[in-house]
Structure 1
Amino acid sequence: MALYSKDKALICKVFPSSLGLVAMRWFDSLKTNSIDSFKELTQAFFSRFITCTRVPRLLDSLLSLSMREGETLKTYSDRYWEIYNEIDGNFDDVAISTFKSGLPTKHGLRKSLTGKPLTSLRQLMDRIDKYKRVEEDQQLGKGKTKVIP
């Protein structure tokens, strides 16, 4: 759309080509001559589709996150990174400390993060992956029955 921004009549004609199916249905349902300018068109569009905009999460949502009782490290980690990715800005240092503080005090990963502090998210993710593999191995071991010779 930026290519045509100087020519208002042309931008109104090109606008529909940028729409998806739902928005195109809305556009096609507009009454003839109900819109007089591109500004009106964008206002009508935004008022209709405002609910489709993404509102970034606040850093507070990470600070209050913790591992639930009975939750696996994988599930907690997935929840954590989903929320982290919805926060605008660079908070790598905060991410390391909040992930650690969200773990139960006796969790092996928390003890490891306390004993060997990390300096990057990559290191945190690598450490989490190691502990997730250990957790998965333990769960697989519990499911097997012991064979007594």
Structure 2
Amino acid sequence: MTIHSQNEALMCKVFPSSLGPVTMRWFNSLEMDSIDSYKQLTQAFGSRFITNSRAPLPLSSLLSLFMCEGETLKAYSDRYWEMYNDMDGNYDDITISTFKSGLPTEYGLRKSLTGKPVISVRQLIDRIDKYKRVEEDQLQRKGKE
């Protein structure tokens, strides 16, 4: 759509195709001829749905995360990546170290990350996935006993 950004009529026509049910109801409730430009449409949209926008979390949010007693690796990593995804910026080194430091000292994954460090978030996710599979297998075995 970038090449058509100067065509306001087209932008206004395409805009509704990006809306979900709630925003579509809002869009359909606009009074006929109440919007004169794409800029005015985006301003009206922003004014109506400003509460749905989130400010990015600061990097320090990751520093406060740790795995709770009795929490599964899956639950901890889900919380961690949810918070990570709400941040702006690229902090791979800090991401890796804060995830590791949030694990209990005796935890196998923490020992693995200390003994054989990862150098990218992708590698960290791969290592977490391996440990999650082991944890899930152990939980399934316990459930069958």
Report the more deviating stretch, 63-72 or 18-27.
Answer: 18-27
- Paired letter, 2:97: S
Q: Deviations over 1:3-54 (max 9, x none)?
A: 152x6xxx25751431234434334433455455554443322211222334
1:57 is matched with 57
After the TM superposition, which parts of structure 1 deviate over 3 Å for at least 4 consecutive aligned residues?
Answer: 21-25, 30-42
Q: Mark the CA change 1:24 to 1:13 in structure 2 (over 3 Å): closer, same or farther.
A: farther
Secondary structure at the counterpart of residue 49 of structure 2: helix
Deviation at 1:121, TM superposition (A): 1.9
Report the more deviating stretch, 89-98 or 113-122.
Answer: 113-122
Aligned 1:110-149 pairs, distance under 5 A: 110-145=110-145
- Paired letter, 2:84: Y
Give the CA RMSD over aligned residues. 2.5
Secondary structure at the counterpart of residue 25 of structure 2: helix
1:18 aligned onto 2:15:
yes
Aligned 1:26-65 pairs, distance under 5 A: 26-32=26-32, 34-35=34-35, 38-65=38-65
Find the structure with the greater CA-based Rg. Answer: 1
Q: Mark the CA change 1:16 to 1:22 in structure 2 (over 3 Å): closer, same or farther.
A: farther
Alignment partners' CA distance in 1, 2:5 and 2:138: 60
Structure 1: stretches of 5+ with no match in the other structure: none
CA contact (8 A) 1:67 1:76 kept: yes
- Paired letter, 1:67: M
TM-score, normalised to structure 2, is 0.78
Q: Kindly, what percent of the aligned residue pairs are identical? A: 65
1:93 aligned onto 2:61:
no
Aligned length in residues: 141
Deviation at 1:112, TM superposition (A): 1.7
CA contact (8 A) 1:96 1:124 kept: yes
1:69 aligned onto 2:69:
yes
Report the more deviating stretch, 67-76 or 81-90.
Answer: 81-90
Report the more deviating stretch, 54-63 or 98-107.
Answer: 54-63
Structure 2: stretches of 5+ with no match in the other structure: none
